[in-house]
Amino acid sequence: MSITISLYENLARYKRNQTDGLTEIVQQALAIPELVAEVLTFVRHHQANVAVRAMWVIRQIADTAPEHLAAHTQQILGLLPEAHLWEVKAELCHILPVLPLTKKQAESAIAFFKTCQSDASKIVRAWSLNGLHELSKSVPGIRPLVIDLLQQALQ
């Protein structure tokens, strides 16, 4: 319980665009795999700064040691329909391609990327195209979709 309280305090302490104190959380989560699930619960937090900062931590774990997220793939996919903050969506666009996805899970990721193409945020739209491109390296048969969406985005 004390880990959760100090985790919340660290996530809530700063503004959503600040990464102060988050590197320590990333290091702790890499050392204590159970902490990853705890951080993921904060992505759903009602305070935007907490949710965004928690998502940043998950992104850093994905960049550093994606294997630490494999056991949490379903939990991460559960975030897709709930992601309303542009920062969370943008981070998901980076994370999804590094997850070991089943065919059905890949279809969920593809649907998310397609939905992101109509997002108000240009950043989300751009990163979703990149995420879809990265996913196409491990999911056979989606390159035509990537090309089609890129051509639509250019128009």
Q: How far lies 122's CA from each of 78, 115, 116, 117, 128, in Å? A: 23, 13, 10, 9, 10
* Whether pLDDT at 4 is above 60: no
The pLDDT assigned to 145 comes to 86
Q: How far apart are CA 66 and CA 97, in angstroms?
A: 10
pLDDT band (50, 70, 90) for residue 3: low
Q: Which residue has the tokens 């996805």?
A: 101
Q: Nearest CA to 14 among 57, 59, 68?
A: 57
pLDDT band (50, 70, 90) for residue 104: very high
Instruction: Tell me the two tokens of residue 88.
Output: 């969370």
**C-alpha 32, offset from chain centre:** 20
Note the pTM of the prediction, 2 decimals. Answer: 0.91
| Residue 99, Cβ density class (10 Å: 0-12 exposed, 13-18 middle, ≥19 buried) | buried
CA atoms within 13 A on the CB side of 145: 20
